[in-house]
Chains A and B, each alone.
Chain A
Amino acid sequence: MVLKYQSLDIGNQSQFKQIKTLVDNDLSEPYSVWVYRFFLNNWPGLTYIVIDTELEEEKNVIGCIICKNELHRNTRRRGYIGMLVVNNEYRGQGIAKNLVKTAINKMKNEQCDEIMLETEVSNTIAIKLYENMGFLKMKRLFRYYLNEGDAYRLILPLTEKSCIRSTFLGDASIDI
């Protein structure tokens, strides 16, 4: 098995479809095509896929990470991991870890002050993965997901700005 990590080719419809199927099968939330388009079209450089080169092109995407990068309250730059999935048969080989690392490094280069994400409280595998990379659980969100589970919001700090409330970075409203 030869795996290839690469960023998304936004013009490639097959990749788009495969990403959607991969995520639809594994994340509990059903997302509309709009959500994928929102991430992929706005930040094509922040979606990475893993390809098993030994498979046919229409079904060779076996993992993906989908991110965005925005200014939060006009004060700090926040990277956000929207989705991360590895095909069931390829798990436990460090693929997710590689994907997360690649994406974080990219967002770091784009001057992000922090990386944020949400994951279900019951998803111990994902929590462990992120915590081991330095993410901190900041809040618990009550019944955050449509399937009724609570979620955690996790943040990885990359600069000092991440550790100061946005109110004191120049935003007038209170950051909660």
Chain B
Amino acid sequence: MFKNYPNNDELIDVTDIFKNLGKNLKEPTIIKASYFDLFEGTRSLEVENARLDSTLIHLTEIEKNFNCNAIIGDENDLEVQLDNIISISDRLLRNVISWLNNYQTLPTTILSCTYVEHILLASEKSHKIEPLSTGNELYDKTLSGLCIGICYFGKFVLHLMKSGVLMEEEDLNFNFMGLDFLTFQESSKEVLELLEESLTYLDTLENGKKQYLKDFIRITICLVHIEETCTTYSTDLKFLNELAELGEKYNSIEVLTSDVPEGSFSMGIQKRMSNQYPPRKLVNVTNNYSGYKDMAMDIKRVLLIHEEKSALEMLQFSYYFGNLQQRHVLARGIFSLFFMRDNLTILGKYKMPDFVIMQLNEFSLTGCTSSIENLTPEQKLFLEPVLEEATKVLLEFYQNFTQNNCRIRQGYNRQLLLWDSLQAQFENAETLLEQNGVINVVSNEPVVTYFPYSLWAYFQKVTLMIDFVLKGFDLEIYQPYETFAMYYFVYYLTYKREYALRSVQQFIEKKIHSIQAMNKKIKKLKTVEKKEALKVQYKKLMETVMPSLQRNKQYLNFLTLRNTITKSLSLCQFVQFGVLKSYGIIDNHSSSISEFIDHELIHKLRFKSFSSIGVPELPTYEIFESTLKEFTLSEPNLDSKVSNTIGFVNKECTKTIESLDSILQAIKAGDNNGTMLTGSRLIKEDALKHYEQLKYSCQDIQKNIVTLTKKINVISERPLSEHFKVILKFSDNGSSFFPLLSLEDKTKID
């Protein structure tokens, strides 16, 4: 049972020592190791407590005496034996999905299969794969192959967990019960051979049901191959496609789940093996084969990043992959290892420092005097340590997109500080560069210079601030009364972001202009040598820098439009809030009465993440308050003021829909329309979905504001807060970053 379990003669009786020591203890004393805190405590077990003591699990006689090396039922009846093995295999395969897609534990899914437990124990003992030995090949080859293949796949999942990309318990449960998951098995070769042998054997059978088993073995083969995405970084989609197809096929076929032989699945392992968890009932699996398809599709999606052609595509890919919906746990784990590789490269192609420069070049650095390649070794010394820091921060930024939905927001929160500090460090370095004559001039009169590195860090920071706030809506963190402050703040941040974008744009325009002006200059020059020299320079710039500048310009067009969309939607949201406040239906403070409520303190707590950020400065509490006042309408002529506001919201939404349409068109056309670069080629479907959802949100807001006012106008008695309550409503097609401020009838709910 336990490894190295001592013999009886090696044990001593400590009862008396224990009792004697215990006598001196006073009533409230707690004995514990120093590291044992509440967190450990909430996971501690208790002897004789049925909810916490797995030794109290009751097993039937059949479960207790189940012999994995015995054939169940009439061994000469092929039909019976096929049914046995099909039902066990079917349940085991469904358990894999319950484990991975539905977050069930390992002991209640895969390890609840007694054959898996048996094979793992036997294999660990002899340090090599030990199939069953019943004398019947359906057990010894097919069922064994399936169990061993799944365990080998489990070994890969364990590897993902150990690499730190997935969180134990949260993303995945890998309570392995002290069993060795074939760690001695260095490659999949032997496992795959066993599975192939099983297929060959199944072909010799003359019974139509063998097809089930052949397919089950194929599924297992596909699972075994998944590790190649992280070992050889294979991008071969063959097995993932097959897995998706089989998942789909079996999703509509009823197999024999209800008829598994008694004892083949049991809670027994929780009782028998080294178990640090409370007892848990087995999961009652229903048909979930489509889960294989979901898993395969998400992993396939990850591998697409391999086809990237620019840093921009990597950035957009990660954003749409991670920020919008939670991906399959394996896909998230694989993404991290596939993208940031063991050999410290990105996708095996780019060294880390180059990767940072690539990102910078996509945004603000192209054509700059302070580009790293233009600097002397001494000047480089100012920047290099900061670029090193930037590498770390950037990698964490990418890694964050592979986390679960809730952790992504926490990641944004942490990163605000990292980018804030990075910005300050870049500012120092760039100031030193300027003092050393490395100046990026935007205009001479007045003198305006340009800091491409810190501007990038600033842009990233403000974007994270916005994403952090909006993700809070997606995760249903805020109460309706908070919507004003949250959307007003996003609106404020989009202004700051717009300013940063404009600075980059100005520099790029200036650069493009100055290159173009060289052509005219050439004509004016008198000497042939000078003409020739400038021509060469001009040609070089036109061939190298100009295309990049044009690219940057198009990317900025996209970023600016995207920023305007966020700005307008946020504006519409808090303007609606203003309308509701005008009728007294909602306020920007909690309406409940409690001695502990301090509105200003609550507001400050909500904005805690930003209070330490110097630029952009967090508006004061008073500014939030006075801004809401500005957007609150009052008598006289309240109704007509409201109707003007409706007109305004309508127009703003219509404008936003147009902007969204042009982004949608650019994505659909593969960025070929020459005005906008979205970088979404590799993740087109998800990007389209995101902007479609925003478009629905605009349309929903247009309808919503009319509905709100109609509802309000029907009721003549005041205060209206007695009749209505504001809720945040998530529509089916709209974006979860912009839920609707809807009115719910109070009489209906109470």
B601 x A157 contact (CB < 8 A)? yes
Q: Does A104 contact B (CB under 8 A)?
A: yes
* B42 touches which of A35, A101, A134 (Cβ 8 Å): A35
Contact with B along A143-165 (1 / 0, CB 8 A): 11010101010011111101111
Please tell me which stretch of A36-44, A46-54, A55-63, A88-96 contacts chain B, meaning at least 4 of its Cβ atoms lie within 8 angstroms of it. A36-44
Q: Does A139 contact B (CB under 8 A)?
A: yes
In whole angstroms, what is the CA distance A176 to B409 when docked?
A: 10
In whole angstroms, what is the CA distance A38 to B36 when docked?
A: 10
| Chain A residues whose CB sits within 8 angstroms of the CB of B41 once the complex forms | 32, 34-35, 38
A131 x B479 contact (CB < 8 A)? yes
| Chain B residues whose CB sits within 8 angstroms of the CB of A32 once the complex forms | 41, 44-46, 49, 52
Residue of B nearest to A163 (CB): B604
B49 x A136 contact (CB < 8 A)? no
Q: Does A170 contact B (CB under 8 A)?
A: no
Residue of A nearest to B326 (CB): A142
Q: Does B609 contact A (CB under 8 A)?
A: yes
**Given A140-B406, A140-B475, A140-B477, residue A30 in contact with residue B103 (CB < 8 A):** no
**Within residues 111 to 154 of chain B, which ones have a CB less than 8 A from any CB in chain A?**
none
Q: Does B30 contact A (CB under 8 A)?
A: yes
* B410 touches which of A68, A121, A139, A165 (Cβ 8 Å): A139
In whole angstroms, what is the CA distance A141 to B171 when docked?
A: 11
B476 x A140 contact (CB < 8 A)? yes
Contact with B along A113-128 (1 / 0, CB 8 A): 0100000010000000
Interface residues on chain B, number (Cβ under 8 Å): 51
Q: Does B530 contact A (CB under 8 A)?
A: no
In whole angstroms, what is the CA distance A165 to B618 when docked?
A: 14
In whole angstroms, what is the CA distance A143 to B167 when docked?
A: 11
| Chain A residues whose CB sits within 8 angstroms of the CB of B413 once the complex forms | 176
| Chain A residues whose CB sits within 8 angstroms of the CB of B169 once the complex forms | 143
Q: Does B2 contact A (CB under 8 A)?
A: no
Residue of A nearest to B405 (CB): A142
In whole angstroms, what is the CA distance A176 to B604 when docked?
A: 16
* A30 touches which of B30, B51, B170 (Cβ 8 Å): B51
CB proximity of B689 to chain A, nearest CB, Å: 22
**Given A24-B51, A131-B590, A140-B475, residue A10 in contact with residue B170 (CB < 8 A):** no
A167 x B417 contact (CB < 8 A)? yes
In whole angstroms, what is the CA distance A110 to B276 when docked?
A: 37
Q: Does A26 contact B (CB under 8 A)?
A: no
| Chain A residues whose CB sits within 8 angstroms of the CB of B30 once the complex forms | 34, 37-38, 41-42
Interface residues on chain A, number (Cβ under 8 Å): 52
In whole angstroms, what is the CA distance A176 to B468 when docked?
A: 13
Residue of A nearest to B46 (CB): A32
A157 x B602 contact (CB < 8 A)? yes
Q: Does A132 contact B (CB under 8 A)?
A: yes
**Within residues 47 to 91 of chain A, which ones have a CB less than 8 A from any CB in chain B?**
68, 82
A162 x B601 contact (CB < 8 A)? yes
Q: Does B64 contact A (CB under 8 A)?
A: no
Contact with A along B406-434 (1 / 0, CB 8 A): 11011001100110000000000000000
Q: Does B636 contact A (CB under 8 A)?
A: no
In whole angstroms, what is the CA distance A137 to B478 when docked?
A: 7
In whole angstroms, what is the CA distance A168 to B405 when docked?
A: 27
| Chain A residues whose CB sits within 8 angstroms of the CB of B598 once the complex forms | 134, 157
CB proximity of A118 to chain B, nearest CB, Å: 11
| Chain A residues whose CB sits within 8 angstroms of the CB of B544 once the complex forms | none
Contact with A along B439-480 (1 / 0, CB 8 A): 000000000000000000000000000000000000111110
Most buried by A among B404, B410, B596: B596
B27 x A29 contact (CB < 8 A)? no
Residue of B nearest to A70 (CB): B38
CB proximity of B609 to chain A, nearest CB, Å: 7
| Chain A residues whose CB sits within 8 angstroms of the CB of B602 once the complex forms | 134, 136, 157
Residue of B nearest to A143 (CB): B170
Residue of A nearest to B27 (CB): A11
Residue of A nearest to B612 (CB): A168
In whole angstroms, what is the CA distance A134 to B589 when docked?
A: 10
Q: Does B78 contact A (CB under 8 A)?
A: no
A176 x B52 contact (CB < 8 A)? no
Q: Does A1 contact B (CB under 8 A)?
A: no
* A150 touches which of B406, B478, B607 (Cβ 8 Å): B406
In whole angstroms, what is the CA distance A46 to B27 when docked?
A: 18
In whole angstroms, what is the CA distance A105 to B180 when docked?
A: 52
B612 x A134 contact (CB < 8 A)? no
| Chain A residues whose CB sits within 8 angstroms of the CB of B392 once the complex forms | none
**Within residues 367 to 407 of chain B, which ones have a CB less than 8 A from any CB in chain A?**
404-407
Q: Does B611 contact A (CB under 8 A)?
A: yes
* B406 touches which of A131, A141, A167, A174 (Cβ 8 Å): A141
| Chain B residues whose CB sits within 8 angstroms of the CB of A133 once the complex forms | 592, 594, 596-597
Supply 5 further A-B pairs (C-beta < 8 A) apart from A41-B29, A101-B596.
A101-B595, A132-B590, A136-B605, A140-B476, A160-B601
Q: Which 7 A-B pairs have the closest CB atoms?
A: A30-B51, A163-B604, A32-B46, A134-B597, A132-B592, A142-B406, A157-B605
| Interface residues in chain B, defined as those with a beta carbon under 8 Å from any beta carbon in chain A | 27-30, 32, 38, 41-42, 44-46, 49, 51-52, 103, 169-171, 278, 404-407, 409-410, 413-414, 417-418, 475-479, 590, 592, 594-598, 601-602, 604-609, 611-612
Q: What are 5 sample pairs from A and B whose C-beta atoms fall under 8 A apart?
A: A10-B28, A101-B595, A138-B605, A141-B406, A163-B601
